[in-house]
């Protein structure tokens, strides 16, 4: 097991068994989550005997950067290699790219939760080559730490110059969206453990309300998530407001049709008014017709959900296309006229905002051609 898949409580119990004083756990956690050291050798205030014991019991793994796309001020995609050579992606999104206006402090990281995806939505690059495995908690947590480590290395001037073991380094990432490769709720236990660690004050210290979990619609796990003490935000990849449309593009809808999905969302929403967003990719000729607007408006109003319209990112090798801007605007207008709360992502350039899964696919295809 990797040390970063352990919670503070688990480590406390273990250190107690080992006859180690409690403050050693605190010291270890600071090396991992404040200084984000990549190896045991950097943990200078831990005694050698304890380090040897830790090394004998645990791995301490980092992610290897294979490729990075995008520039400092815009969305940046990271392609990582895991210990078993699998590849995953993370995407760092500045809330307000300087390219389009004033820079903002908020930085969101989009995390992957699985290698590949088993759900096979027809429009998605992540599912194209099937599912390989679940990510372990440390592999999700490490996406945050590795991006922060990378940022630190790229811009040492903006970091405090005091000794590393006394000054908490300012965190780069303030928000998380679990919208990378994979279906997060199909890797439920590992996901929840990773999010608990990323949320804990001794770990990532990211507020639960700044964490959004996106799902293609696993109804039973949505109910399970509603019962968790931590109040994450939930995004539903809806992409169709009738079973006929959803069935065409999302095989999961045959297992959990809209009636069941919406009932689970209602349960989630009722648990102390938790926030839900409907993600709705607009795909030309598939789900961008005005026939979807009425049912979508009703669903959004019923759940008090916000609709997030996202123009489709074309994927190499797939026939789907992004609709013309007039069609996107018309769809938005019609939703608003019906009384739904909706936004349309108006980005320029498919390559900058390309969805997760595409960089991995491209790299794997290039490697296969060598």
**Residue 269: C-alpha distances to residues 209, 219, 274, 357 (Å):** 14, 13, 5, 29
CB 114 → ligand SF4: shortest distance, Å? 8
Binding ligand SAH (rule: CB under 6 A), the pick from 315, 335, 340, 361 is 315
**Residue 124 binds to ligand SAH (criterion: CB under 6 A):** yes
Which of ligand SF4, ligand SAH, none does residue 194 bind to, with CB < 5 to 8 Å depending on kind?
A: none
Among positions 20-79, residues that touch ligand SAH (CB under 6 A) are none
**Stretch touching ligand SAH by CB under 6 A, among 11-19, 201-209, 309-317, 323-331:** 309-317
Which of ligand SAH, ligand SF4, none does residue 190 bind to, with CB < 5 to 8 Å depending on kind?
A: none
**Stretch touching ligand SAH by CB under 6 A, among 139-147, 298-306, 311-319, 323-331:** 311-319
Residue 297's CB is within 10 A of a number of other CB atoms, namely 20
Binding ligand SF4 (rule: CB under 6 A), the pick from 69, 216, 297, 358 is 216
Residues, the chain: 370
CB 180 → ligand SF4: shortest distance, Å? 8
Binding ligand SAH (rule: CB under 6 A), the pick from 69, 134, 175, 214 is 214
Cα separation, 150 vs 357, whole angstroms: 21
Cα separation, 7 vs 200, whole angstroms: 9
Write the DSSP symbol of residue 33: I
Residue 123's CB is within 10 A of a number of other CB atoms, namely 20
CA 282 to chain centre: 21
CB 126 → ligand SF4: shortest distance, Å? 4
Q: 325-337 and 293-303 helices cross at what angle (nearest 10)?
A: 50
**Residue 256 binds to ligand SF4 (criterion: CB under 6 A):** no
Residue 245 or 313 with smaller CB distance to ligand SAH: 313
**Residue 281 binds to ligand SAH (criterion: CB under 6 A):** yes
356 given a catalytic annotation: yes
Catalytic residue among 110, 121, 265, 356: 356
Closest CA to 299 of 251, 256, 323, 265: 265
Alpha helices in 200-257 (DSSP H): 219-226, 243-249, 252-255
89 given a catalytic annotation: yes
Cβ-contact 77, 94 below 8 angstroms: no
Q: Is 82 helix (H, G, I), strand (E, B) or coil?
A: coil
Binding ligand SF4 (rule: CB under 6 A), the pick from 50, 61, 120, 298 is 120
φ, ψ dihedrals at 24, nearest 5°: -65, -30
Cα separation, 207 vs 306, whole angstroms: 21
**Residue 124 binds to ligand SF4 (criterion: CB under 6 A):** yes
Binding ligand SAH (rule: CB under 6 A), the pick from 140, 194, 310, 340 is 310
**Stretch touching ligand SAH by CB under 6 A, among 63-71, 138-146, 214-222, 329-337:** 214-222
Which of ligand SAH, ligand SF4, none does residue 143 bind to, with CB < 5 to 8 Å depending on kind?
A: none
Among positions 155-194, residues that touch ligand SAH (CB under 6 A) are 179, 183
Q: Is 300 helix (H, G, I), strand (E, B) or coil?
A: helix
Closest CA to 31 of 116, 114, 149: 149
List interacting residues with ligand SAH (CB under 6 A): 123-124, 179, 183, 214-216, 237, 279, 281, 310, 312-313, 315, 355
List interacting residues with ligand SF4 (CB under 6 A): 117, 119-121, 124, 126-127, 182-183, 216, 237
**Which residues are known catalytic residues?**
89, 356
């Amino acid at each position: 097991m990797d040390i970063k898949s352990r919670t503070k409580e688990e480590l406390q119990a273990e250190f107690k068994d080992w006859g180690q004083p409690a403050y050693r756990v605190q010291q270890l956690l600071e090396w991992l989550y404040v200084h984000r050291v990549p190896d045991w050798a950097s943990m200078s205030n831990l005694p050698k005997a304890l380090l040897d014991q830790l090394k004998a019991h645990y791995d301490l793994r980092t992610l290897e950067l294979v490729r990075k796309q995008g520039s400092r001020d815009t969305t940046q995609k990271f392609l990582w290699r895991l210990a078993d050579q699998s590849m995953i992606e993370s995407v760092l999104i500045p809330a307000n790219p300087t390219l389009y206006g004033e820079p903002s402090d908020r930085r969101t990281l989009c995390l992957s939760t699985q290698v590949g995806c088993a759900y096979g939505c027809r429009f998605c690059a992540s599912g194209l080559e099937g599912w390989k495995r679940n990510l372990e908690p440390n592999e999700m947590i490490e996406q945050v730490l590795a991006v922060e480590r990378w940022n630190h290395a790229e811009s040492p001037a903006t970091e405090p110059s005091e000794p590393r073991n006394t000054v908490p380094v300012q965190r780069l990432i303030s928000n998380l969206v679990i919208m990378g490769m994979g279906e997060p709720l199909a890797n439920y236990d590992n996901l929840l453990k990773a999010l608990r660690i990323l949320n804990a004050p001794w770990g990532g210290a990211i507020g639960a309300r700044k964490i959004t979990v996106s799902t293609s619609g696993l109804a039973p796990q949505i109910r399970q998530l509603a019962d968790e003490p931590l109040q994450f935000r939930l995004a539903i990849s809806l992409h169709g407001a009738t079973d006929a449309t959803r069935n065409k593009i999302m095989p999961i809808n045959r297992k959990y049709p809209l009636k069941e999905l919406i009932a689970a969302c209602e349960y989630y929403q009722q648990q102390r008014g938790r926030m839900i967003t409907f993600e709705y990719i607009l795909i030309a000729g598939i789900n961008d017709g005005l026939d979807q607007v009425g049912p979508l408006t009703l669903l959004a109003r019923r759940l008090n959900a916000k609709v997030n319209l996202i123009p489709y990112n074309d994927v190499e090798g797939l026939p789907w296309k992004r609709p013309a801007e007039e069609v996107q605007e018309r769809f938005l207008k019609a939703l608003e006229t019906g009384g739904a709360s909706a936004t349309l992502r108006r980005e320029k350039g498919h390559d900058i905002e390309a969805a997760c899964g595409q960089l991995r696919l491209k790299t794997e295809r290039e490697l296969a051609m060598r």
